[in-house]
Structure 1
Amino acid sequence: MNRLAAPLRFLTELIAWVAAPWALAPHSILLAVLADLLLIGLPTVLATPGDKEQVLVAVPGWATVGLVLLQLTAAVVATWCAWPTWAAVLTCGLAAACLVTERPRWRRLLAAPRSRAA
């Protein structure tokens, strides 16, 4: 199951990166751009040491788990707002599978000792 976690997480992230701006663009182009800056930028800059090789800004494990949950939520909510029902249903299934496969990683992240940066 650990082999599936990263690809499922990445696919869900891609959906969030596309669907969130798609859902927000009719209301505000600025919000659409900001959504992608947050969804792509935060996980790029913030990371838990030991979870990624290169960490720009160290955060505790709970923050990394929160960022994944943010991505999953954005993907699910945005697809229901912007895409056909069948795509939203598939995204919900993907997000559910991602939640299951991420559990071992999250346990490790949440059990990790607190770093000085935290």
Structure 2
Amino acid sequence: MISASRPDDRISAGFRFAAELVAWVATPWALAPHSVPLAVLSVVVLIGLPTVFATPGDKRNVIIAVPGAVTILLVLLQLVAAVAAAWAAWNPYVAVLVSVLAVVAVVLELPRWRWLASLRGWRRAPG
């Protein structure tokens, strides 16, 4: 049974943030040799989307409320961007470390994702 209260994600949040940070650095790094405007746009998208769109109850300040599934997809976007860009731009040894970071982040995020997926409405915070 899924609890109505938000799971404690203090540990997973650290891994999630580390992966997001890698995405914010690696993605423009990988794209800049091909297109500087695309590199800039990637940072705007990777930072801007999760800032604007959030699930009430998961984040304190919500600009535009979205269902939990959207928040999960935004996290997955960050993780995929981090891994793909690391493999495209950096040494394979670093890319392997980024890949391991992403896998650990996914495993640690699962309780939060189950909770987010259980949210029926997104107009108000659960509980």
TM over 0.5: yes
CA distance in 2, matches of 1:49, 1:2: 16
Write out per-residue CA displacement over residues 41-95 of structure 1, whole angstroms, 9 at most, x where no aligned residue: 0001110000001100000000000000000000000000000011100000000
Match of 2:42 among 20, 35, 39: 35
1:1-118 matches, within 5 Å, as 2-116=9-123
Percent of paired sites with the same residue: 57
CA RMSD of aligned residues (A): 1.4
Unaligned runs of 5+ in 1: none
Shift of 1:116: 4.9
Matched positions, count: 117
**Contact 2:83–2:98, Cα closer than 8 Å, also in 1:** yes
Unaligned runs of 5+ in 2: 1-7
TM-score relative to the length of structure 2: 0.89
Structure having the larger proportion of residues in helix: 1
